[in-house]
Chains A and B, each alone.
Chain A
Amino acid sequence: MKRQVLFPILGIILIVGGLLSWSIAAGNSVLLGLDLEGGAEVVLEPAEDTELTGSALDEALDRSVEIIRNRVDGLGVAEPDITRQSNRIVVQLPGVEDQQRALEVVGQTAELRFRPVCATLPPMPIETDGEQTGDNATTNEGPVGLLPSDADDLPQEGPEIDANQDNAGATPEGIGCENLGFTQNDALGMPNTIADDDIAENPVILPVLDSEGNPYQRLLLGRTMLTGAALETADATFAGLEWSVFPTFRSGEEGIDLFNAAASACYNRQPTCQVGQLAIVLDGVIESAPTVNTPYFERDQIVISGNFDQTRAEDTALVLRYGSLPLEFGDPTDPTSGSRVRLVSATLGQDSLDAGIIAGIVGLALVALYMFAYYKLLGVAAMLSLAISGTMLWVILSWLSETRSLAVTLAGVVGLIVSIGTSLDSNVVYFEHLKEDIRNGRTLRSAVDQSFPIAFKTIFWANLASLIGAAILYILTVGSVRGFALMLGLASILDLLATYFFLRPAVKFMGMQNALQNRPWLSGLPVVEKEEQK
């Protein structure tokens, strides 16, 4: 008999303990939201004058999410979270150190650029022995390295900021690949161009990635010859035997004419485009670098073909379409733009977390005291049950953190603290039922058995109502409200499980102890007085 009760208790403790050790062994830990860890949150809303609507806007937003993700990867943020919420893009960068920089990186508008390929380089920079130094920017033996970004804004002045380049002069004038200011040989030793130096008017060196994302070569690209603004649209179609991309340019000087100028330069292998390839670059990523096969194109008769599979072709078409109307976002530091920013310093985040944890511990202690004072040993059982559901909550949260990068925010912490109280509600409902039954003349042993199903029914339906509320909140709202709802919902479910699988056998076990039956003051249950019994 005793074994039958002890078994489920030990079972549940083993299961929960096992899960906890699994969680610890797997190295799962709970991610902290940026209001607790510090970091930056930027919400971007398309600028009001955007011409995009409907599916075009949709596509552009999806594209922007990818672009921002690419950029953020370069920031070295551990768990960046970039999501779309209807027409907004929410970028969360917990723990990012240089917040101002994060702001700049995230907020830029991506531009699609057509750059001529000047040379193909091996995937890694090679140390060249004769590093050139000299101020003569007009010869091919020019300064080493690409020019710092501010050189573009202020082309007349020499760069004052970038200390690495002791010899950088003004940007050499020229189109495409001509007059780069350094030799191909120099380029071999130069690193890839970083995002800050990726300026339309400067040459760049960018990696070409294979299907696994590893660089297999690098391309030295000349100055931008035309941008996505010249494009009208693009499609991917299965034509002939393979997938091809069909871009359509705008007519006139700002459209097809620009493209044809570049195309003829490449076709004729002019110095501006010696290799004959015109690379399509979006936000520092080479999407494609097709060889130009004719000097002149009709604006809607252009085919980019060669080794595209369906996905590649569609992706490239998407890039071109997006590039034709890049999405501009409102300035996050101008609140009327709809975009907004939140930078939380790590200190204040930590303070909030500490305050939350300490308040939680104190709250827990108060509740434990109260439960013990009121329900004596039953209160201890209740706190154990709470410990079980709390441990499970930790396991689930850390698992969700690990797999879904769910971060616990301050709202979540408060949800957690609130759920301490609501979880104990169930225990109180059961205990009060128990007391009532005993007052009505039952023995402890039979009351324990009899009152549980009835109490559990009440607990079940009331928790179900809470769960419905949490689910509705979760589905219909966003952001921190969701985290809060999730926490309450999880707590409701775990509360039911802990009550059923732990509290019930635990109280039953207590009910069997003779020591307890003889000392009602120990159990917190009422003494059945003689006159109350029939």
Chain B
Amino acid sequence: MNLLKRMYRNETSVPFSKLWKPITLCSLAVLILSIGGLGFRGLNLGLEFEGGGAWEVPAENIQAEEVRDALRPLGIADARIQTGGGVLRVRTELSKVTQNALDSGGESDPIVAQVTTILAQITQQDESAVSVSTAGPSWGEEITNKAIKALIVFFIVIALYITIRLRWEMAVGALVAVAHDIAITVGIYALFQFEVTPPTVIAFLTIMGYSLYDTLVVFDKVRDNEHRLSNAKLSYTEIVEKALNQVFMRSVNTSITSILPVVSVLIVGSGIMGAVTLREFALALLIGLIIGTFSSLFIAAPCATVLRNKFGNADSDKRSYRLSEAVRRRSKSSVPVAHSTPSNPAIPPRPRKNKRR
């Protein structure tokens, strides 16, 4: 209770720098586990990546065996059949779909249409109630390639952006954090064999955007503190730690507001209402959001700090000092409250037309 109260009032003084080492080690272990999982188990790729055919039809109270028997004459009794959530799903491999297309030689309907007919029959519905999709393996590959290309460009642009806006050490820290988030999320997908579909890839991409937003909020505070605390003879690590404590509640809150809707999508949308596609998005998002918040505080920040302590040179300090001088001069007129100084002289203070009484 006491802790909660302190958190609410933002009076936490978590010794972040002491936590960094053990937490980084834990993170590293999880990372290794993730990569190992990816290496040994691989990803459970969806239809769009492996190719094949998939059918979906609303159906209550239908047994998988019943469906399997009905599909046996087509030679696809080994299809993956899922029931539940009021929806029957059937998925079969690429080779089956193609083989049959060749066998039929145009004489009978292709297997895709035949399965549709059968599913419509056993669920006693019109064929138009059946959703069908077929895909070759190239489609998912293309989406992934595009996503990877987008990721690389994104990394470069963001690295430049943070270097110009903040510091190159922070750019490295932010990117390490983003990479960490994506690696762990993908690793979890491999370990638990969750199905990877194009929506999942989209969700992975969103994670990086979110993780970055969070990290930037943290770094912005650090940068602010660099200016303010420059004559307080604090070490860089202490400056960062102070900043982390200041943004801690902010981080927790922004995470909660982001996670709540995603949880709702996962539980209400996909769990209760059975929209599978929603789960494909929401699961990756949820994992990514949680890890993203964590990594801003425990990966990005220490990474930037270590780099800064190691490579921080007089030049950049001087630059930072000049900046803070400029800030101080400019804000002289305003009430001398420690936290009121805008950190970036590039942004002039909002002109105030009418003085406050």
Chain A interface residues (CB < 8 Å from chain B): 1, 4, 35, 38, 43, 97-100, 331-349, 351-352, 354-356, 358-360, 362-364, 366-367, 370-371, 374, 410-411, 414-415, 417-418, 420-422, 424-425, 428-429, 432, 435-437, 439-442, 445-446, 449-454, 457-458, 461-466, 468-470, 472-473, 476-481, 484, 488, 526
Contact = CB atoms under 8 A, between A and B. Distances in A.
Contacts of A35: 277
| Majority DSSP secondary structure for residues of B touching A | helix
Interface size class of B (residues with CB under 8 A): 35 or more
A387 B350 CA distance: 26
B114 to A, nearest CB: 10
Contacts of B326: none
A335 B94 contact: yes
Contacts of A453: 342, 347, 349-350
B139 A356 contact: no
30 contacts: A335-B52, A340-B134, A340-B139, A348-B56, A348-B57, A348-B131, A355-B269, A355-B278, A358-B268, A358-B273, A359-B268, A363-B268, A367-B260, A370-B257, A410-B277, A414-B282, A424-B258, A428-B257, A437-B339, A453-B349, A457-B344, A462-B220, A469-B205, A469-B209, A469-B212, A473-B154, A476-B146, A477-B143, A477-B147, A488-B206
Nearest to A336: B98
A91 to B, nearest CB: 14
A97 B132 contact: no
B23 interface: no
Contacts of A374: 8, 253
Given A43-B139, A477-B150, A351 B213 contact: no
Interface in B262-292: 262-265, 268-270, 273-275, 277-278, 281-282, 285
Interface string B129-140: 111111111110
A126 to B, nearest CB: 38
Contact of B274 (A355, A360, A371, A462): A355
Contact of A480 (B113, B199, B356): B199
Nearest to B201: A481
Given A331-B101, A336-B51, 14 more contacts: A359-B265, A363-B260, A363-B268, A374-B8, A425-B254, A428-B254, A432-B10, A458-B217, A463-B213, A469-B158, A469-B209, A469-B212, A477-B143, A481-B205
B133 A334 contact: no
B257 A354 contact: no
B259 interface: yes
A421 B259 contact: yes
Nearest to A460: B347
Nearest to A332: B134
Contact of A410 (B112, B264, B278, B347): B278
A421 B262 contact: yes
Residue from B133, B136, B246, B342 with most neighbouring chain A CB atoms (10 Å):
B136
Given A355-B278, A410-B277, A469-B154, A371 B130 contact: no
B208 interface: yes
A461 B137 CA distance: 40
Given A340-B134, A476-B150, A481 B342 contact: no
A224 to B, nearest CB: 23
A472 B153 contact: yes
A392 to B, nearest CB: 19
A232 to B, nearest CB: 30
Contact of B270 (A332, A355, A417, A488): A355
B281 A414 contact: yes
Interface in B93-141: 94, 97-98, 101, 110-113, 127-139
A28 B129 CA distance: 29
Nearest to A527: B9
A439 B97 CA distance: 67
Contacts of B158: 465, 468-469
Contacts of A333: 97, 101, 110-113, 134
Nearest to A365: B264
Contacts of B173: none
B339 A440 contact: yes
A439 B158 CA distance: 34
A411 B208 CA distance: 17
B149 to A, nearest CB: 6
Top 4 A-B pairs, shortest CB-CB distance: A421-B258, A363-B261, A359-B269, A363-B264
Contact of B278 (A4, A347, A352, A457): A352
B3 interface: no
Contacts of B53: 335
B131 A362 contact: no
Contacts of A458: 216-217, 220-221
B261 A364 contact: yes
A341 B111 CA distance: 13
Nearest to B212: A465
Contact of A4 (B11, B210, B269, B354): B354
B70 interface: no
B58 interface: yes
A449 B356 contact: yes
B138 A338 contact: yes
B246 to A, nearest CB: 7
B25 interface: no
A417 B261 contact: yes
A424 B133 contact: no
A356 B134 contact: no
B249 interface: yes
A453 B161 CA distance: 21
Contact of A481 (B146, B208, B262): B146
B209 to A, nearest CB: 4
Given A446-B356, A454-B342, A421 B205 contact: no
B254 A424 contact: yes
Given A335-B53, A344-B131, A432 B249 contact: yes
Given A97-B128, A440-B337, A351 B220 contact: no
B246 A418 contact: no
B314 interface: no
Residue from A349, A418, A420 with most neighbouring chain B CB atoms (10 Å):
A418
A338 B135 CA distance: 7
A11 to B, nearest CB: 16
A260 B153 CA distance: 58
A306 B202 CA distance: 54
B335 interface: yes
B338 interface: yes
B238 to A, nearest CB: 18
Contacts of A441: 337
A343 B146 contact: no
A200 B230 CA distance: 85
A351 B275 contact: yes
A366 B260 contact: yes
